[in-house]
A = this chain, B = another copy of it.
Amino acid sequence: MQHFADRLAAAVRAKGNAVCVGLDPRWELLPAELRQRHGAATLASVAAAYEEFCSRVLDIVAPLVPVVKPQSAFFEACGPEGIAAMQRLLRKARDRNLIAILDSKRNDIASTASAYADAAFGGTRLAGHTFPVWEADALTINPYLGADAVEPFLESARRVGAGLFVLVRTSNRGAGQFQDLLVSDGAMPPRPLYEHVGEAVAAWARQKLGACGLGDVGAVVGATYPAELATLRQLLPEVNFLVPGFGAQGGKADDVAAAFRADGLGGIVNSSRGILFAYPPDEPRWEARIESATRATIAALSLLTVQTGG
C-alpha cells in the first residue's frame, strides 16, 4: 500500500504541476446550455446538471492536473440526489487516476469521527463487511476538537493509505479571529493558535513519512495569507499544504510560492471558480474555455515551481 504523500508526489511529477481543480458547481454560473437542458424544476434536475458539468470537467482536467477537490456543500445542497452525484463523480475521478480530496471539513469525536472517516476512505464497516461510500484519497478536517477527535480520522486513513488535510490557517478574511489569537503554553514568546495547530499537524505527519519526506497529514493554508504561509513552511517541513484562495479569492501566484519546498513538492494549489467559471455563462465553447483556464493556471504555477527550484 503506497503512502499518500508518495502517491501525491508521483501524481504531481507525472503531470508536471501541483494544481488542484476544485469542483464547486453553482447553478447561476453553469453554462447556459446545461441549465436550459436540465432545468431547475427539482433538486434532482439540478444535481443532474451538476453531475454532467463536473463529469465533463473531470474529462477535461484529468490529462492535465494531478488532483481534484469536490466541495461537499454544493452536492449536499441538492439533497440525496446531490450526494449520489458526488459519489459517482468521486468514482470517476479515481477511474481517471486523479487524486480526489473530499472537501467536507468534517469533525467529531470517537466512533462518530470514525463513521465519517470510514465513509470517506475504506468504507463503512459493519456486520463483518466493509461497504465503500466515498472512496476519497484524502479528506479535509477541522481540528477544533483536539487530537483525540483527529486520531479516528488518521486511523481510518492509514488503514487504506489515504490522507488528511487539517484546517490550519484558512483563506477567509476573518480567519484570524481565533486562528491568530496569541496563546501561551509556557513557550516564549506566545505564538498564534494556528502555529500550535500546525505543530500538532507536523507531529501527526512525522508519525508516518513517505519516501518523499512528507507525511500523510497535511495542512490547509490559504493563499490569501502569504506571510503566514511562509512561516508555516519553515515550521512544518514534512507537511503538505493544500492552498485554497488562489485566483477568485485574490491569492496570486507569487503568494503561493512559499508553499513549496526546495524540491518543488509540498504544495497543492486549488483553483475552483478561476477554472470552472472563467467564461460568461452564455459561452457556447465553455469546455474549451475550462481547458484553457486550466492550462493558464498550470502555466502560472509551473513558472513558480521552477523559480522555487522544483
Residues of A participating in the B interface, judged by any CB pair closer than 8 Å: 24, 26-28, 35, 40, 42-43, 46, 71, 73-74, 76-81, 83-84, 87, 105-113, 115-116, 118-119, 124, 126-127, 129, 131, 133, 142-149, 167, 170-179, 181-185, 190, 193, 196-197, 200
- Indicate which residue in B40, B129, B133, B178 contacts A144 across the interface (CB closer than 8 Å): B178
CB-CB under 8 A from A76, the residues of chain B are: 83, 115-116, 119, 133
Distance in Å from the Cβ of A115 to the closest Cβ of chain B? 4
Q: Which residue of B lies closest to A144 (CB)?
A: B144
Distance in Å from the Cβ of A265 to the closest Cβ of chain B? 27
This protein's copies in its complex: 2
CB-CB under 8 A from A193, the residues of chain B are: 178, 181, 183, 193
Distance in Å from the Cβ of A128 to the closest Cβ of chain B? 8
Q: Which of A76, A113, A144, A148 has the most CB of B within 10 A?
A: A144
Given A73-B116, A87-B79, A108-B105, the answer on whether A178 and B124 have CB atoms closer than 8 Å is no
Q: How far apart are the CA atoms of A171 and B146 in the complex, in Å? A: 11
B144 and A179 within 8 A (CB): yes
Distance in Å from the Cβ of A213 to the closest Cβ of chain B? 26
A-B contact pairs, 27 of them (CB 8 A): A24-B112, A26-B111, A27-B126, A27-B127, A28-B126, A28-B127, A46-B124, A76-B115, A79-B87, A80-B81, A105-B107, A107-B142, A109-B172, A110-B172, A142-B142, A144-B167, A145-B179, A147-B174, A147-B177, A148-B172, A148-B174, A149-B174, A178-B193, A181-B183, A181-B193, A182-B185, A183-B183
